Structure 1
Amino acid sequence: MTTPLLSVRGLRVRLGGADVLRGVDLEVAPGECLAVVGESGAGKSVLARTLLGLTRRDGAGVAADVFDIAGRDARRLPERAWRALRGADVSLVLQDALQSLDPLRTIGAEVGETLAVRGVPRAERRSRVLDALDAAGLPLGGPARVESDARLRQRPGQLSGGMRQRALIASAVVGGARLIVADEPTTALDATTAVRVLGLLGRLRDEGTGLLLITHDLSAVARVADRIAVIDGGRIVEHGSAEQVLHAPAHPATRALLAAAPTGPKPTAAAPGGPVIEATGLVRRYPGPSGAFAAVDGVDVSVRRGEVLGVVGESGSGKTTLARLLTGLERPDAGEVHRAEGARMRLVPQDPLGSFDPRHTVERILRLARRGAAPSPTALLERVGLDPAAVLRRRPASLSGGQRQRVAIARALAADPDVLVCDEPVSALDVTTQSGILDLLLDLQRTEGLAIVFISHDLAVVRRVSDRVAVMRHGVVVEEGGTESVFGDPQHAFTRDLVAAALG
Structure 2
Amino acid sequence: MAILEAKGLTVDIPTEDGTVHAVRNVSFAIRPGSLFGIAGESGSGKSVLTQAVMGLLPNADISGEVWFEGRNLIGLPQEEMRRLRGGRIGMIFQDPLSSLHPFYTIGAQIAEVLHAHETIGPAEARARVVDMLGKVGIPAPAERFDDYPHQFSGGMRQRVMIAMALILKPALIIADEPTTALDVTVQAQIVELLDAMRRDFGTTVILITHDLGLLSSVADDVMVMYAGNRLEYGRAADVFRAPAHPYTAGLLRSTPASYRPGAELAPIGGRPPSLLATPAGCVFAPRCPEALARCASERPPLRVYDDGVESLCWLEAGAGRARPAMAAAASVVKAADPEPVAEIEDVCLTYQTGSFFGAKRSLEVLKGIDLTVGRGETVGLVGESGCGKSTLARIVAGLVPATSGHVRVLGKDMASLDARAWRKMRREVQLVFQDPFGSLNPRRRVGAIIGDPFRLHGIASGEERREKVRRLMEMVGLNPEHYNRFPAEFSGGQRQRIGIARALALNPALIICDEPVSALDVSIQAQVLNLLRELQRDLGLTYLFISHDLSVVRHVCDRIAVMQGGRIVELETAERLFADPQHDYTRTLLSASRMLPAFADGGGRVLVETRGLA
Quickly name the TM-score band, shorter chain normalised. Answer: 0.7 to 0.9
- Identify the structure with the greater helix proportion: 1
Displacement of 1:14 in angstroms is 3.0
Preserved CA contact (<8 Å) 2:382 2:560: yes
Pairing 1:312–2:382 present? yes
Q: What amino acid is aligned across from residue 478 of structure 1 in structure 2?
A: V
Local SS of the residue matching 1:76? coil
2:349 aligns with one of 270, 283, 286: 283
1:350 aligns with one of 434, 439, 448: 434
Displacement of 1:446 in angstroms is 1.7
User: CA–CA distance in 2 between the matches of 1:478 and 1:308?
Assistant: 18
Within a 5 Å distance, the mapping from 1:40-439 to structure 2 comes to: 40-56=42-58, 61-69=60-68, 71-77=70-76, 81-118=80-117, 121-126=121-126, 128-129=128-129, 132=132, 140=139, 149=143, 153-156=147-150, 161-206=154-199, 207-263=201-257, 264-266=260-262, 267=329, 268=331, 271=334, 273-280=338-345, 281-285=347-351, 287=353, 292-340=362-410, 342=425, 343-357=427-441, 366=450, 372=460, 373=465, 393=485, 396=488, 408-409=499-500, 411-413=502-504, 417-439=508-530
Local SS of the residue matching 1:471? strand
Between Structure 1 and Structure 2, whose CA radius of gyration is higher? 2
User: CA–CA distance in 1 between the matches of 2:514 and 2:587?
Assistant: 23
Could you tell me which residue of structure 2 aligns to residue 7 of structure 1? 6
Displacement of 1:92 in angstroms is 2.6
User: CA–CA distance in 1 between the matches of 2:225 and 2:442?
Assistant: 29
1:30 aligns with one of 29, 32, 35: 32
Displacement of 1:54 in angstroms is 3.2
1:446 aligns with one of 537, 550, 555: 537
Pairing 1:478–2:569 present? yes
Deviating more after overlay: 350-359 vs 459-468: 350-359
Q: What amino acid is aligned across from residue 241 of structure 2 in structure 1?
A: H
Deviating more after overlay: 454-463 vs 368-377: 368-377
Displacement of 1:387 in angstroms is 7.5
Preserved CA contact (<8 Å) 2:220 2:236: yes
Preserved CA contact (<8 Å) 2:2 2:30: no
Q: What amino acid is aligned across from residue 428 of structure 2 in structure 1?
A: R
User: CA–CA distance in 2 between the matches of 1:99 and 1:464?
Assistant: 32
Partner deviation per Cα, 1:87-135 (whole Å, 9 max, x = no partner): 3322332334454444444444555542354465545555555555565
Could you tell me which residue of structure 1 aligns to residue 320 of structure 2? none
Please report the TM-score for the alignment, with normalisation by the length of structure 2. Answer: 0.70
User: CA–CA distance in 2 between the matches of 1:362 and 1:79?
Assistant: 44
User: CA–CA distance in 1 between the matches of 2:223 and 2:261?
Assistant: 30
Local SS of the residue matching 1:67? strand
Name the CA shift for 1:155/1:286 in 2 (closer, same or farther; >3 Å).
Answer: farther
Preserved CA contact (<8 Å) 1:36 1:229: yes
User: CA–CA distance in 2 between the matches of 1:236 and 1:132?
Assistant: 36
User: CA–CA distance in 2 between the matches of 1:173 and 1:402?
Assistant: 36
Preserved CA contact (<8 Å) 1:35 1:225: yes
User: CA–CA distance in 2 between the matches of 1:223 and 1:427?
Assistant: 20
User: CA–CA distance in 2 between the matches of 1:444 and 1:187?
Assistant: 27
Q: What amino acid is aligned across from residue 330 of structure 1 in structure 2?
A: V
Name the CA shift for 1:179/1:392 in 2 (closer, same or farther; >3 Å).
Answer: farther
Name the CA shift for 1:275/1:231 in 2 (closer, same or farther; >3 Å).
Answer: same
Gaps of 5+ in 1: 142-146
Preserved CA contact (<8 Å) 1:12 1:19: yes
Could you tell me which residue of structure 2 aligns to residue 39 of structure 1? 41
Partner deviation per Cα, 1:200-242 (whole Å, 9 max, x = no partner): 2222333421211111211211121111111112211111111
Local SS of the residue matching 1:324? helix
User: CA–CA distance in 2 between the matches of 1:289 and 1:173?
Assistant: 38
Name the CA shift for 1:497/1:81 in 2 (closer, same or farther; >3 Å).
Answer: same
User: CA–CA distance in 2 between the matches of 1:39 and 1:257?
Assistant: 9
User: CA–CA distance in 2 between the matches of 1:98 and 1:425?
Assistant: 21
Q: What amino acid is aligned across from residue 368 of structure 2 in structure 1?
A: G
Preserved CA contact (<8 Å) 1:192 1:497: yes
Local SS of the residue matching 1:221? helix
Within a 5 Å distance, the mapping from 1:449-468 to structure 2 comes to: 449-468=540-559
Q: What amino acid is aligned across from residue 278 of structure 1 in structure 2?
A: E
Q: What amino acid is aligned across from residue 11 of structure 1 in structure 2?
A: T
Could you tell me which residue of structure 2 aligns to residue 144 of structure 1? none
Cα-Cα RMSD: 3.7
Q: What amino acid is aligned across from residue 47 of structure 2 in structure 1?
A: S
Displacement of 1:402 in angstroms is 5.9
Q: What amino acid is aligned across from residue 572 of structure 2 in structure 1?
A: G
Deviating more after overlay: 42-51 vs 163-172: 163-172
User: CA–CA distance in 1 between the matches of 2:158 and 2:47?
Assistant: 16
User: CA–CA distance in 1 between the matches of 2:333 and 2:146?
Assistant: 46
Partner deviation per Cα, 1:402-436 (whole Å, 9 max, x = no partner): 66655554554456543332222222222222211
Gaps of 5+ in 2: 263-328, 413-424, 596-614
Preserved CA contact (<8 Å) 1:374 1:414: no
Partner deviation per Cα, 1:157-207 (whole Å, 9 max, x = no partner): x65555544444444334433222222222222222222221122223334
Preserved CA contact (<8 Å) 2:11 2:49: no
Name the CA shift for 1:183/1:486 in 2 (closer, same or farther; >3 Å).
Answer: same
User: CA–CA distance in 2 between the matches of 1:169 and 1:364?
Assistant: 44
Local SS of the residue matching 1:216? coil
Deviating more after overlay: 251-260 vs 294-303: 294-303
Name the CA shift for 1:190/1:476 in 2 (closer, same or farther; >3 Å).
Answer: same
Preserved CA contact (<8 Å) 1:162 1:188: no
Partner deviation per Cα, 1:420-469 (whole Å, 9 max, x = no partner): 32222222222222211111111222222222222122211110011111
Name the CA shift for 1:154/1:344 in 2 (closer, same or farther; >3 Å).
Answer: farther
Q: What amino acid is aligned across from residue 441 of structure 1 in structure 2?
A: L
Q: How many residues align?
A: 492
Preserved CA contact (<8 Å) 1:88 1:177: yes
Preserved CA contact (<8 Å) 2:562 2:568: yes
Displacement of 1:289 in angstroms is 11
Preserved CA contact (<8 Å) 2:443 2:486: no
Local SS of the residue matching 1:315? coil
User: CA–CA distance in 2 between the matches of 1:292 and 1:419?
Assistant: 31
Deviating more after overlay: 357-366 vs 453-462: 357-366
Name the CA shift for 1:168/1:339 in 2 (closer, same or farther; >3 Å).
Answer: farther
User: CA–CA distance in 1 between the matches of 2:253 and 2:172?
Assistant: 31
Name the CA shift for 1:351/1:242 in 2 (closer, same or farther; >3 Å).
Answer: same
Could you tell me which residue of structure 1 aligns to residue 421 of structure 2? none
Local SS of the residue matching 1:65? strand
User: CA–CA distance in 1 between the matches of 2:349 and 2:238?
Assistant: 50
Preserved CA contact (<8 Å) 1:8 1:64: no
Report % sequence identity. 41
